[in-house]
Amino acid sequence: MMKIIAFGIREDEQVAVDAWVAKHPDVQVDTTNELLTPETAPMAAGYDVVNILQAGVPVGEATLKQLADLGIHILTLRNVGTDDLDFEMLKKYNFHVSNVPRYSPNAIAEHAMIQMARLFRHMKQMDIKVYRHDLAWAPTIGREVRKQTIGIVGTGNIGRVAIQIAQGFGAKVIAYDKYQNPELAAKGLYVDTLDELLAQADGISLHVPGIPENHYLINPDSIAKMKDHAVIVNAGRGNLVDTDAVIAALDSGKLDGFAMDTYEDEGGLFNVDWAGQDFPDPRVADLITRENVIVSPHTAFYTWTASEEMVEQSLDAGLAFFNGETPEQVVKF
Ligand SMILES: NC(=O)c1ccc[n+]([C@@H]2O[C@H](COP(=O)([O-])OP(=O)(O)OC[C@H]3O[C@@H](n4cnc5c(N)ncnc54)[C@H](O)[C@@H]3O)[C@@H](O)[C@H]2O)c1
């Protein structure tokens, strides 16, 4: 019987693992909530496939050599990012690797457009007022989403779903991508430059990768090109946004709101419960308290559907490798 060991399994993922196992009675999948490290690698003895989601914990020679010595050469990731992996060592020890590059784009697109709508309607401000028993209407009057122009930067898997959702509100949608999608182009949704999008949009949502050339796409210059009272949603990557520039623009009143799901210094900060402890990042502490800023800790993706897809695709990929096939999620290196 083929045996898979999955490291770093969260409770929500265990549900998806159990569902997958029910459909694959010929495969044994054992799980641990420990991450894969040189110390935990011996737990993989007797297994054929190692399945991981590391989120910042490196997988280098100390770990890979141990797995190879145990006869394991299949490593499947439950997420997209391969930054934690030492590819030279993966090559040296003859590993097959897969990741999950596409899982429920709707999870992220929904989150981004929900936050955009909340910013236009000043929902956070209203929630805080109601929590304080202030049930007066004024001055918390909102802007209807359908009357806004929403600018989608990046029209890949996620950006395209965000467009559909924004159109569902009845908003005017414009888009910018370096490589235009023919279907969207035929619908006349594209503007030719990022500057045009910045100049026309009331709400800007970022759906491009955090590659070095996109570092600080949103900076003092690009903010100056935006409409007064624009709002920005960043559920892309933290490094797309110069956070200090956004804070300055919120302070000056140039920007009306900001929703931040990804943050340039989020490593070690997000996905940790800081309740009752000193909060380590004064800038985020400040942003969290602002009524026109909505912070979420990189949870745009965090839905049952996405969790299920990440688990299922990674287990499927492990099975395919084991059977001598190449899954579509193979990482080439
Ligand atoms: N917040 C979350 O939980 C979460 C989860 C998954 C992905 N993401 C982020 O969302 C991003 C988009 O994901 P996707 O699946 O849609 O990716 P994708 O590769 O399908 O699409 C990205 C698009 O961005 C375009 N692009 C890249 N640089 C650009 C630039 N400077 N200007 C204009 N267009 C540019 C590309 O041509 C491509 O069409 C990912 O890169 C990731 O950083 C966030």
One domain, residues 139 and 259: yes
Local structure of 146: helix, strand or coil: helix
Is 53 a member of any domain?
A: yes
The verdict on whether 237 is a catalytic residue reads yes
In a domain, 333, yes or no: no
pLDDT in tens, 246-264: 999 999 999 999 999 999 9
Q: Is 237 in the pocket of ligand 1 (CB under 6 A)?
A: yes
pLDDT of residue 20: 97
Are 240 and 193 found together in one domain? Answer: yes
Whether residues 97 and 136 fall in one domain: no
Q: Which atom of ligand 1 is nearest to the CA of 214?
A: 31
Q: Which of 237, 264, 309, 312 is catalytic?
A: 237
**Does residue 110 sit in the same domain as residue 92?**
no
Considering the entire predicted model, what is its pTM? 0.92
Q: Tell which atom from ligand 1 comes closest to the C-alpha of 301.
A: 3
Tokens of 254: 């140039």
Determine the pLDDT at residue 262: 95
Q: Has residue 126 been placed in a domain?
A: yes
Question: 124 and 9 in one domain?
Answer: no
- Residue ranges of E strands in 26-166: 27-31, 49-52, 74-77, 96-98, 149-153
Do 275 and 315 share a structural domain?
no
State residue 206's pLDDT score.
Answer: 98
Rounded Cα–Cα distance for residues 277 and 331 (Å): 40
Burial of 213 (0-12, 13-18, 19+ CB in 10 A): exposed
Instruction: State percent of the chain over pLDDT 70.
Output: 100
Structure confidence at residue 200 (pLDDT): 98
Q: What is the DSSP string of 281-330?
A: -HHHHHHHH-TTEEE--S-TT-SHHHHHHHHHHHHHHHHHHHTT---TTB
Find out whether 180 and 190 touch, Cβ atoms under 8 Å. Answer: yes
Q: State pLDDT tens for residues 286-324.
A: 999 999 999 999 999 999 999 999 999 999 999 999 999
From residue 262, how far is each of 45, 133, 205, 269 by CA, in Å?
Answer: 37, 31, 12, 11
> Are 210 and 131 found together in one domain?
yes
d(CA 126, CA 254): 21
> In DSSP terms, which residues pair with 28 in a beta bridge?
3
Q: Which two tokens stand for residue 190?
A: 């594209």
Looking at residues 76-82, what average pLDDT do you find? Answer: 92
Tokens 């579509």 locate to: 328
Per-residue model confidence as pLDDT tens digits over 32-73: 999 999 999 999 999 999 999 987 789 999 999 999 999 999
Q: Report CA torsion sign: 176, 180, 186, 187.
A: negative
pLDDT at 268: 86
What is the domain extent for residue 62?
A: 2-103+304-322
When computed from its CA atoms, the radius of gyration of the chain, rounded to whole angstroms, is 22
Residue 134 shares a structural domain with residue 275: yes
pLDDT, residue 84, reads 85
DSSP string of 192-246, one letter each residue: SSHHHHHHH-SEEEE-S---GGGTTSBSHHHHHTSPTTEEEEE-S-GGGB-HHHH
Q: Both 163 and 254 in a single domain?
A: yes
CB 13 within 8 A of CB 78: yes
Residue among 158, 190, 196 to mutate when testing ligand 1 (max atoms within 8 A of CB): 158
Q: Is 176 in the pocket of ligand 1 (CB under 6 A)?
A: yes
Q: Do 95 and 147 lie in a common domain?
A: no
Ligand 1 lined by 261 (C-beta under 6 Å): yes
Give the ligand 1 atom nearest the CA of 211: 28
Question: Higher-confidence residue: 80 or 321?
Answer: 321
* 298 counts as catalytic: yes
Q: Are residues 250 and 118 in the same domain?
A: yes
- For the domain that residue 24 is a member of, what is the CATH number? 3.40.50.720
pLDDT at position 43: 98
Arithmetic mean of pLDDT, 181-203: 98
Place 236 in a pLDDT band, splitting at 50, 70 and 90: very high
